[in-house]
Amino acid sequence: MAPHFEDFSRALTRLVDAHSDEPRILDLGRALLAKLVARDDWLPAEFAQPHPQYYSQYLLYCDPRQRFSVVSFVWGPGQKTPIHDHTVWALIGMLRGAEYGERFAVPQEGRPMHSLGTNMLRPGEVDCVSPSIGDIHRVSNAFEDRVSISIHAYGGNIGRINRHVYDAQTGSRKSFISGYTNEPPTIG
Ligand SMILES: [Fe+2]
């Protein structure tokens, strides 16, 4: 991986070595991620490949103690996530193109989910979510005709974490584990 990315992963390691409180990690981590996505000349092409049907999430780095992971999210034209949560802190930095993030209030089961509004993220900008500041959102490529890429850092090994997708109409939730695009499927 490029030195620019290695500088970031080392700096994030030092950050979680020094701090465990989430507000501090989000505040200082936001600045580190902004520095990473201020440049778009470092992401290897293999981690920037869109899939024709599904958005892709490539693991770029996982802390050996699983305190954080870093993923490239590659959106094909018009692709979007379901409404989902993370259960850990997450920093989202826009590298290429643009995306919409729509936040939702914690649902009351049986009722339609309440949108808290939609934000557009442009290259160089960073957003964050977490259980303490609002953890439920839906993300989509802002473009119907081109690929967008964002870089995400999460407060755990996100591809292994049991979390949830939500039904917009009923607020009911289902467990899921996302895995990563760049690994073979597991059995069972
Ligand atoms: Fe998310």
100 burial class (0-12, 13-18, 19+ CB within 10 angstroms)?
Answer: middle
Q: Do the domain assignments include residue 185? A: no
In a domain, 139, yes or no: yes
Measure CA of the first residue to CA of the last residue in the chain; give whole Å. Answer: 32
Residue 57 lies in a domain: yes
To the nearest 10 degrees (0 to 180), the angle between helices 22-37 and 3-18 is 170
Q: How far is the CA of 84 from the centre of ligand 1 (A)?
A: 6
Instruction: Report CA-CA distances (Å) from 38 to 131, 174, 182.
Output: 27, 36, 25
User: At 74, is the secondary structure helix, strand, or coil?
Assistant: strand
Place of tokens 């870089």: 151
Q: Is residue 188 part of a domain?
A: no
CA distances from 126 to 8, 24, 34, 105, 186 (A): 14, 15, 6, 21, 32
- According to the annotation, is 152 in a ligand binding site? no
Q: How far is the CA of 39 from the centre of ligand 1 (A)?
A: 22
Alpha-carbon gap, residue 135 to 164, rounded angstroms: 11
Tell me the residue range of the domain where 151 lies. Answer: 3-176
Global pTM value: 0.94
Residue 1: per-residue pLDDT:
84
Distance 97 CA to ligand 1 centre (A): 17
For position 185, what pLDDT does the model report? 60
pLDDT at 113: 97
> From ligand 1's centre to the CA of 135, what distance in Å?
8
Cα gap 66→39, rounded to integer Å: 26
Q: Give domain status of residue 187, yes or no.
A: no
Percent of the chain with pLDDT over 70: 97
Residue 43 alpha carbon to ligand 1 centre in Å: 20
CATH of the domain at 88: 2.60.120.10
Report if residue 184 sits inside a domain.
Answer: no
Find out whether 137 is annotated in a ligand binding site. yes
Q: How far is the CA of 30 from the centre of ligand 1 (A)?
A: 16
| Number of domains comprising the chain | 1
Consult the annotation and say whether 164 binds a ligand: no
User: For residue 187, what pLDDT is reported?
Assistant: 56
Stretches in the chain below the pLDDT threshold 70: 184-188
Domain contains 183: no
Q: Where are the alpha helices (DSSP H) in the chain?
A: 3-18, 22-37
Q: What is the pLDDT of residues 108-126, one digit of tens each?
A: 989 999 999 999 999 999 9
Helices (H), 38-77: none
Residue 87 lies in a domain: yes
Q: 33: which 2 tokens?
A: 């991620």
pLDDT of residue 186: 54
Rounded to the nearest angstrom, the gap between the alpha carbon of residue 14 and the centroid of all alpha carbons in its chain is 21
How far away, in angstroms, is 138 Cα from ligand 1 center? 7
Backbone angles phi, psi at 165, to 5 degrees: -110, 150
